[in-house]
């Protein structure tokens, strides 16, 4: 029986590429992103090395959990092992975005973790995100290192490379991408003029509870 392929999931990836370019979170053909269909387990991922301004739904590649192509004629992203490894490790994740943003990459180059320095970061991302061990792009070693550093958090810095953010759906994952890059920018600027003051673990937990249970419309 042929797998059910959902055009709406392909459309999400096409739109995501344009948003990332417009908002300066990646450049050229760099980065990659995917969504997992929780109903079928299929992974929809961007093609390798294509201009995001030119990608259409027909260019999106659909993989099964073992990374066999079940739909699409393009070569899938070289980081498909990394995406699949995250999905295997995290059943709560159905969207993965890997980008090459400026300030987050600066932290990765210096092997620095990013602590919770702003309230929005603390509420959505947590107390900190850490930098993984280095491995070459597209390798299983990189996938293993990323999963280990990601743990139960929703973002990780890739040394000399970029960032990876995850979430239950693409909109919240893109929000996490923005918060990580904004916080990296603030952290670098703050360190240039003084010592950043971090939010206490107790206040971070309180803000996360507030964001989950109180903030917004109910």
Q: How far apart are CA 16 and CA 49, in angstroms?
A: 16
Give every CB contact of residue 215 below 8 A, 6+ residues apart in sequence. 123
pLDDT band at 155 (very low <50, low <70, confident <90, very high): very high
Indicate the range of 81-90, 105-114, 166-175, 203-212 predicted with least confidence.
Answer: 203-212
pLDDT band at 216 (very low <50, low <70, confident <90, very high): low
pLDDT digits (tens, 9 = 90+) for 106-153: 999 999 999 989 888 888 888 899 999 999 999 999 999 999 999 999
C-alpha to C-alpha distance for 168 and 200, rounded to whole angstroms: 27
79 in catalytic set: yes
Report the candidate in 164, 169, 184 with the shortest Cα–Cα distance to residue 31: 164
Residue 212 has pLDDT above 80, yes or no: no
The one catalytic residue in 7, 22, 39, 79 is 79
Task: Kindly tell me if the per-residue pLDDT of 86 is higher than 70.
Answer: yes
Residue 191: pLDDT band (50, 70, 90) is: very high
3 band by pLDDT with thresholds 50, 70 and 90: confident
Structure confidence at residue 160 (pLDDT):
95
Count the Cβ atoms, other than its own, within 10 Å of residue 62: 22
């Amino acid at each position: 029986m042929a797998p059910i392929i959902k055009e709406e999931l392909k459309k999400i990836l096409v739109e995501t590429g344009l948003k990332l370019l417009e908002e300066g979170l990646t450049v050229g053909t760099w980065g990659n992103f995917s969504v997992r269909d929780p109903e079928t387990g299929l992974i929809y991922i961007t093609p390798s090395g294509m201009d995001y301004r030119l990608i259409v739904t027909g260019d999106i590649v659909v993989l099964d959990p073992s990374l066999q192509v079940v739909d699409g004629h393009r070569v899938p992203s070289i980081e498909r092992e990394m995406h699949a490894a995250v999905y295997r490790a995290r059943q709560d994740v159905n969207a993965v975005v890997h980008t090459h943003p400026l300030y987050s990459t600066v932290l990765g180059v210096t092997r620095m973790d990013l602590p919770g320095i702003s309230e929005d970061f603390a509420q959505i991302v947590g107390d900190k995100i850490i930098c993984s061990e280095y491995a070459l792009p597209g390798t299983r070693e990189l996938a293993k290192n990323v999963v280990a550093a990601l743990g139960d958090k929703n973002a990780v810095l890739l040394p000399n490379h970029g960032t990876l953010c995850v979430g239950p759906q693409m909109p919240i994952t893109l929000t996490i991408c923005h918060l990580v890059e904004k916080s990296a920018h603030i952290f670098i600027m703050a360190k240039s003029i003084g010592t950043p003051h971090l939010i206490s673990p107790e206040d971070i937990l309180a803000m996360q509870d507030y964001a989950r249970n109180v903030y917004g419309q109910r």
